[in-house]
Structures are given as C-alpha cells and as structure tokens.
Amino acid sequence: MALPRPSRRSLAELALTSGTEGRSLSDEAHRVLLADLVSGTNIGAPLESLHGRSVLLASEAQLPTVLAAIALDGIARRLLICLPDMAPEDLPAIIADAEIDTIVCDGTGPRFAGDTGVARIGCASTPRPASLAGLDRSAETEWILLTSGTTGRPKMVSHTLASLTGPLDDGLQVMRGAVWSTFYDVRRYGGLQILLRALLGGGSMVLSGAREPVGDFLVRGGRCGVTHISGTPSHWRRALMSPNANRMTPCYVRLSGEVADQAILDHLKLAYPQSDVAHAFASTEAGVAFDVRDGLAGFPASYVGQAGAKAEMRVIDGTLHIRSARTASRYLGEAAWLGDDEGFIDTGDMVERHGDRYYFMGRREGVINVGGQKIHPEEVEAVINRHPGVRMSRVWARKSPITGALVAAEVVPRDPAAKANFAALRDEILAACRETLAPHKVPVSLRAVDALAVAPSGKLLRRGD
C-alpha cells in the first residue's frame, strides 16, 4: 500500500499558519499586515491563472516582490527573483535561459520598460482583497536567485523553498513576535534568509530602503521595535559610523556575506551590549553552512569533519567544501550539478588553521568582496585590457577597514617607456573603468609593473600576496 504523500506546504501557508496577530511587513512607505494576505494578494491577476508559469519578479522596491513571492510560491513553476541593479542588456538572455513566460512588475523598474515580448502582470506594494479559498498551492516552485558571474552577467542559482529554509533549523531560540530586519536587500541570499526567518518563525519584517540613508533606517528600525537584525560587516561598520546607531536596541545582531574580523565583532558587542552577536558563513550556492556565536572571529576547528552535522564541512587543499540539504542544486542553463561525487560543494573560500580555530584567508579565484558585493577580477581586467596601451593586467583585493576590500590593479604597459610616465595612461584607464563599471568595481589604486606572474597552466597567478 502506498503511503499518502504529505502535501507540500507553500510559503503563504507556512507564513500564515503560525498566526498573523500583530505581524507585518514594512518598508519606508508601506506597512502590510500579514492578516491581509490570508484573503488578499498584490498581484493584478487571478492567482490560479499563474499555475505552472515561469515568473520574473522585477520590481524596483523589495516589498512588491516579497508579496508576489508569498502569493506565487506553490503556484508558479519557477520564480526568478530579479535584483534592482541588474543590467538591462542581460535581461533577454535571462528570460530565454529561465524560460520566463510572465513578468510580474509594479512598473517602477524603468529598465524593464522595453518590450521583452513576455506577458506582463502588474503588482502593488499593498494587497487587495481576493478570493483565495481552495487555491492549489501544492506545486514545488523552483526559486532562482541571481549571483555575480565571471563575465559580469549574473548566474542563476536554482533553489527550492526547502533548500532555502533548511538553515532556519539551527537551534536559534527566537521569542514570539520577534521583529526581524536586515541591511541586505532580501532578494539576495543573505537577506532572503532573514525574511524567511521572520515569515516562518511567526515574526514581522522591516525591509531596508535602497535610497534610505543608514541613519534614517536605524531610526525606523528602532521605531518598529526591531529585535533581530543582520548585515554584512561593512553594513555594520557603516551603521556604527552613524550617530543614530543607538536608536535601535536589538537583542540579536548577525553578520554574514563577508569575513567578520575581531574588531567589528568587538565594536558591535560594545555598541549593543544587550545583544547576542553572531556571524554566519553562507553563499548563494552552498547555503548557510554554520554560524558562530562565541564572539570570536573564525570558527572552531571542531566544526570541520563532524559526521552527521546538518551542514558537513571539509577542508580540501586549504579550501572549504560543504555538503548539506541547503545547497543549491545547479546553475540554471548549465547541466552540471554544483557538487562533487560525494555531494560536497567547493565554496572557493580559503581557510587556515591556527590552534583550534580556522580563519578565512580570502577567495581562491581572487573574487573580491567589496562590502558584500562580489566582483570577479576577470570582469575588471577585461575592461582594463581593452585599452590599447595595456599588455596585461591583474586585479586583486586590497584590504579596507571600511568595506572589507577594495579593487586594486597592476598593469603591464604595452610600451615599457610608458611606465616612467604612467600618470596619463592611468587616468585614461580609470576613466574607461568609470565609464563601464559600477563604482565599487573601479580600481582605487592602479600601478604599473614590468611583468605579471603566470602559472604553468597559462593562467594569471592570483595569489601574489
């Protein structure tokens, strides 16, 4: 006899069955009561008409996308969560690769104003009453998150609600009525984790505003009674530079997305003495691997090799590998599964053991993390190398006490004599970079060198330091 299959629970069901009293989702301009989502939706079409669709969620603000994702999980075949800073020229390829047949958008994303040939449905920042009784939300919706790729075009990382919510089961004790917030955009993996904690854990969520000054966000967070808040170490350094840092009194402060050094952990403990300060290691591909709650940088060596852990870790050739049910399954458009034969995903993060702790030593491929935004050196090198006066270049991470890292570059000029009078060439290269690249990708320092080391494989040596 076949056992009855437990029905899949949708995000809406998971979020709303834990009670809706006093719970809300808010941004700078709107406050949406979760109670209004029981019989309401922000989408301008009957939800049943979106069964089996592959939907791109493309609003500029976070709230319309969050409400749409809650409405459509379990209904759509696929939800592609668009980032507001996505380049418009990448859109056609993303639509094609993800087989997008519907765009749900509130019309604020001017970059999506062009004709994509795909059906569009409007959405709003607040729900309107709708009859949702009997709606079938049993589909296993695929969630596609975007992450930075080597060529500058984002990669699409395939998740499910199950893989996204896996890390929530980490034993963190959270009181009822917790008010969660994050400096992150919740459309990025680190932010989405916090949103899901709020939704599934019976709490409320305060969303950050893209153009909201950090001081205003801290005041708003205080006013909304934020109890749990996350951000990158760079977000937190910026918060501590605000005179309004003490306007919020959270009981839980979380860091992720960049390596947390001892200085920022100590500063946060001083600024929020009533708060637990934890730092987590996560990536869009590998999911959350672990968090560290002892207030110290790095992580205990005992975490590695623990059999039966929810996220198992190995260190292979100095690089952290992770296996868990929370890892993404693949990049969309690429057949290959992300993991190795045993299911471990290579995070590309190098670690070194000192005594009984491991410490992060940067990225193997030289990926540069500027305030939580990852930059592939190849993307910047390609722009520099386009200059006719450049033979080759190497882009690397320069440490910064403010943003964790900054982009720095070395250039081999085509004409060796140009090295003596490099200022003019440097200004031209930087001007070209500023024209093509986002501000955080433009090198802050650029120097001329005679040669760059190349490995026997013909690849540029990335670890020169």
Partner 1 sequence: MTTPTAVRPFILGQIKLIAAQQKKRLVPLKDDLPLLESGLDSLCIAIIVASLDDELGLDPFAAGDVDMPVTVGDFIHLYENGAAAS
Q: Which residues bind partner 1 (CB under 8 A)?
A: 213-215, 234, 237-238, 240-243, 261-263, 266-267, 370-371, 398, 400-403, 406, 434, 439-440, 444-445
**How far, in Å, CA of 138 to CA of 147, rounded?**
28
**How far, in Å, CA of 368 to CA of 383, rounded?**
16
Q: Which lies closer to partner 1 via its Cβ, residue 40 or residue 233? A: 233
For 61, phi then psi, to 5°, come to -85, 160
Q: Which lies closer to partner 1 via its Cβ, residue 167 or residue 231? A: 231
Of 236, 204, 199, 205, residue with least CA distance to 218: 236
Helix (H, G, I), strand (E, B) or coil at 107: coil
Q: At its nearest, how many Å lie between partner 1 and the CB of residue 213? A: 7
Q: Which lies closer to partner 1 via its Cβ, residue 208 or residue 234? A: 234
Q: At its nearest, how many Å lie between partner 1 and the CB of residue 255? A: 14
What angle do helix axes 377-385 and 422-436 make, rounded to 10 degrees?
120
Q: Which lies closer to partner 1 via its Cβ, residue 261 or residue 312? A: 261
Q: Which lies closer to partner 1 via its Cβ, residue 237 or residue 363? A: 237
Q: At its nearest, how many Å lie between partner 1 and the CB of residue 261? A: 8
In sequence order, what are the residues at sequence separation of 6 or more whose Cβ sits closer than 8 angstroms to the Cβ of residue 121?
Answer: 43, 44, 45, 50, 102, 103, 104, 105
Q: At its nearest, how many Å lie between partner 1 and the CB of residue 306? A: 31
**How far, in Å, CA of 175 to CA of 197, rounded?**
12
Beta bridge partners of 142: 78, 160
* Beta strand residue intervals within 69-141, DSSP E: 78-81, 102-105, 119-129
Q: At its nearest, how many Å lie between partner 1 and the CB of residue 405? A: 9
160-177 burial code (b ≥16 CB/10 A, e <16): bbebbbbbbeeebebeee
Q: At its nearest, how many Å lie between partner 1 and the CB of residue 267? A: 6
Q: Which lies closer to partner 1 via its Cβ, residue 312 or residue 410? A: 410
Q: At its nearest, how many Å lie between partner 1 and the CB of residue 237? A: 6
